[in-house]
Amino acid sequence: MSDDDVEEIRSEVAQRLGEDFGLNATLKLDFNGAGIVYLDGRATPNAVSGDDLPADCTIRISLADFRAMTEGRLDGTTAFMMGRLKVEGQTAIAMKLRPILGRK
């Protein structure tokens, strides 16, 4: 997977979440050194970027596992229990993404 893959994910996340995704917090998806998707739910309108900034919640996951989750091939709870998805900070924020980032 490449930088283009992370940019594609940023674009998809921005499209799915829209201008006000009701997060009211910051969240970072860290693809284990392959890239970052930073969600700023405090900005108006809400913003999605590749900035590596501190966040209220950070989710660490491989690009392949993230893709599998968004395509419905991997359950987030299963990934978490297997250690393939790690959450740091406020876990309630991560839970808010589940219905939004699920399969289209």
Give the CATH number of the domain where residue 92 resides: 3.30.1050.10
Give pLDDT tens digits along the chain (104 positions).
456 889 999 998 888 888 888 889 999 999 998 999 999 999 989 999 999 999 999 999 999 999 898 888 998 889 999 999 999 999 999 988 876 666 44
* Structural domain range at position 20: 3-101
Structural contact between residues 89 and 57, judged by C-beta atoms closer than 8 angstroms: yes
Strand-by-strand arrangement of the 85-89 sheet = 47-49, 36-40, 26-30, 57-61, 85-89
Q: Quote the number of domains for the chain.
A: 1
Rounded to two decimals, what is the model's pTM?
A: 0.88
